[in-house]
Amino acid sequence: MEELNDIISEQPMETSEKRRANILGYIVCVSIIALCVSGVYFFVKGGVDSAQEMWLGMESQKTIKYKDTDEKTVKAYKKAELSVGALDDQLQKFKPVQPYMVINTIENHFKLYADGNKVREGFCSTGSNVLLKSSNSDKSWVFKTPKGIRTVKAKSKAPVWKKPDWAFVEDGQPIPPPNSPLRYEENVLGDYKLELGDGYMVHGTLYKRFLGLAVTHGCVRLNDDDLEAVFMNLVVGSKVFIY
Amino acid sequence: MGNKNSKTPVWLKSMTIIIVVLSLIIIGTLVFLSAEAPVQVSKMWQEELKTKVEKPVVQPKKKKSSKVKIEPESEEAKVLIEEPEEGVSKEMRDIKLKEAYLLSQLTSARGDSAYLNIDMREQVLTLNIKGVEVHRVKFSEYKMSKFFNSLPFSTLYSYLSNPIIFSNYEATITKEKLVEKIAPKNEDEAEEFVMPDTSKVDPVYVTMVGKLGFEIELKQSELPASEKEKELIEAFDKKENKENITQILNCVKKFEALPFTPKLTLYVPKRDGEIIYKAIPYRVSVNLLLK
């Protein structure tokens, strides 16, 4: 009787233990599968680069300690030092001796340099990147400020604007003959202009609220004070770097 | 499992074993093939740059004059160092890398196009035109492949003493965005001026592929500001990942070394990234000074 009681009392214990072990077995198996699959997934997705970098880290370049006593090394080092100095001097020669201007067309910002120092900076307006297509003909114009280096070709005070064809096309007006008086307009370019070639200029503006924005037809517009400073500093032959 | 009383189904046990074995085989293969790739790329670089490395120019006998003048195109400037078998000292490595950087800059400065200088020592990226620095960006974070450290120094010197040309781009922003406008037919039709919105900037993720497969990535340091930005970045990354996975699977199929790309990732402010990307020409020279 006692034995029977023992069996009865032990059976449910054994069943629950088995069940627990089964569940544990499932969990362990599924975890291992998940771990392996995710291991492969992560390795393929991004781990290859890391693994490769790890191998590279193991065999990185051998370096030895610099010894003052090693005459050959000291000599080679000194020679390299001289070479670096000479190359640096060569590079310095590329810097303009004359004052120059740097124009950032993305931020519509300019910097003026003289004697290697920045003497002025401020906002400007540059090309709007508009492609204007004529409605009557196949002609088109791109209004963008050219990137690269330009040279100041000429400077003048109280400039008069000779309106190009696009100025009439843009306003829906008929294009007058090349020397028509209709093409000439005073007091729209400010007090000064600096010509950069191919019709591009640095000049003043009536639309000061647009300074800092890309709104022009390719010229660079400045406010009155900045224009005066640029005009006074830059000479014919000065470089204008546009990016 | 380990418990004697447990009765995990046999199918689960066998499946686990199969998956574990398969995973180990796959991971092992990937490890083997990935370890092989940088070695092969390194050999390829050495082979490509061999002609320059193998022929060290004989130094002309020094004249009594103490003034050292090195013309950038002179033979003396092209002299490559003879690498001692036991390696290069750190000091020597530093100064020779600086020399290579300056030599490379001189070549770029002679051209008319804008070019980039990347100084990993100062962590500065500059945009230059004709030897004049026009824009400077300080990057606080970067990732650089250890590949450069594993290269023989003479190969590295040879690679860095000339501008690295990049001519293949992929980016989340357009290089030159033109807004098309049809001119009015008459004065009545002349529209009011529409001001372009210049304040909006898409996320800046740029990948440039250069000489011998070297890649430079410019990534914005800011977190995406909107959901749209996040989506754009994810789409850009996803495209890259998809290409990588396809390449990896193809290589595993053929049991070839996995693709390896020496890479430099610079995290720059979004606005600067945009400025740099839009300013550089389609074929840009990059000069690199390593740490």
Residue A128 forms contact with B (CB below 8 Å): yes
Q: Are A138 and A227 members of one domain?
A: yes
pLDDT of residue A159: 95
Q: Are A234 and A120 members of one domain?
A: yes
Strand partners, B133: B128
Residue B94 forms contact with A (CB below 8 Å): no
Q: Are A25 and A85 members of one domain?
A: no
**Number of domains within chain A:** 3
Complex ipTM value:
0.78
Q: Are A152 and A79 members of one domain?
A: no
Q: Are A150 and A233 members of one domain?
A: yes
pLDDT of residue B255: 80
Digit-coded pLDDT (tens) for A25-56:
888 878 887 887 777 776 666 666 777 777 77
Q: Are A14 and A73 members of one domain?
A: no
Confidence of residue A65 (pLDDT cuts 50, 70, 90): low
On average, the pLDDT of chain A sits at 86
* Lookup: tokens for B79: 């002299």
Asked which of A113-127, A141-155, B195-209 is least confident by mean pLDDT, the reply is B195-209
Q: Average pLDDT per run of 10 along chain B, which is 291 residues long?
A: 57 81 80 77 83 44 43 43 58 90 95 95 96 94 89 89 92 85 75 56 88 92 85 80 76 80 93 94 94 88
> Tokens 């004052």 belong to which residue?
A99
A11 pLDDT higher than 70: no
> Tokens 């449910």 belong to which residue?
A12
Q: Are A33 and A123 members of one domain?
A: no
Q: Which residues on chain B are in Cβ contact (under 8 Å) with A216?
A: none
Q: Are A222 and A111 members of one domain?
A: yes
Nearest to A52 among B20, B34, B149 (CB): B34
Contact criterion met (CB < 8 Å) for B8 and A29: yes
Q: Are A122 and A216 members of one domain?
A: yes
Sheet (strand B215-220) strand order: B132-138, B124-129, B114-119, B284-289, B164-171, B205-210, B215-220, B263-268, B141-144
Q: Are A53 and A69 members of one domain?
A: no
From chain A residues 177-206, the ones with a CB under 8 A of any chain B CB are none
Q: Are A170 and A150 members of one domain?
A: yes
Q: Are A90 and A137 members of one domain?
A: no
Last residue within a domain, chosen from A94, A109, A144: A94
Residue with the bigger pLDDT between B149 and A65: it is B149
CB–CB of B160/B101 below 8 Å? yes
What is the C-alpha to C-alpha distance for residues B259 and A56, in angstroms, rounded to an integer? 14
Structural domain containing residue A112: 100-242
Q: What is the pTM of this model?
A: 0.78
Spatial CA neighbour of B109 closest among B143, B73, B82, B77 = B73
Q: Which residues on chain B are in Cβ contact (under 8 Å) with A61?
A: 87-88, 93, 149-153
A151 pLDDT higher than 90: yes
pLDDT of residue A49: 73
Digit-coded pLDDT (tens) for A88-118:
999 999 999 999 999 999 999 999 999 989 9
Contact criterion met (CB < 8 Å) for B114 and A134: no
- Domain of A127, CATH number, reads 2.40.440.10
A7 pLDDT higher than 80: no
pLDDT of residue B120: 96
In this structure, which amino acid lies at residue B215?
E
pLDDT of residue A127: 95
Other residues' Cβ atoms within 10 Å of the Cβ of residue A8: 9
Asked which of A10-14, A96-100, A127-131, A206-210 is least confident by mean pLDDT, the reply is A10-14
Q: Which residues on chain B are in Cβ contact (under 8 Å) with A83?
A: 68, 70, 77, 99
Residue with the bigger pLDDT between B243 and A156: it is A156
Mutate: best of B5, B6, B67, B179, partner A, most A CBs <10 A = B6
Mutate: best of B110, B132, B142, B187, partner A, most A CBs <10 A = B132
A167 pLDDT higher than 80: yes
Give A132: exposed, middle or buried? Use CB within 10 Å, 0-12, 13-18, 19+.
buried
> Tokens 């280096």 belong to which residue?
A149
* Lookup: tokens for B71: 């013309």
Last residue within a domain, chosen from A48, A63, A78: A63
Contact criterion met (CB < 8 Å) for A82 and B68: yes
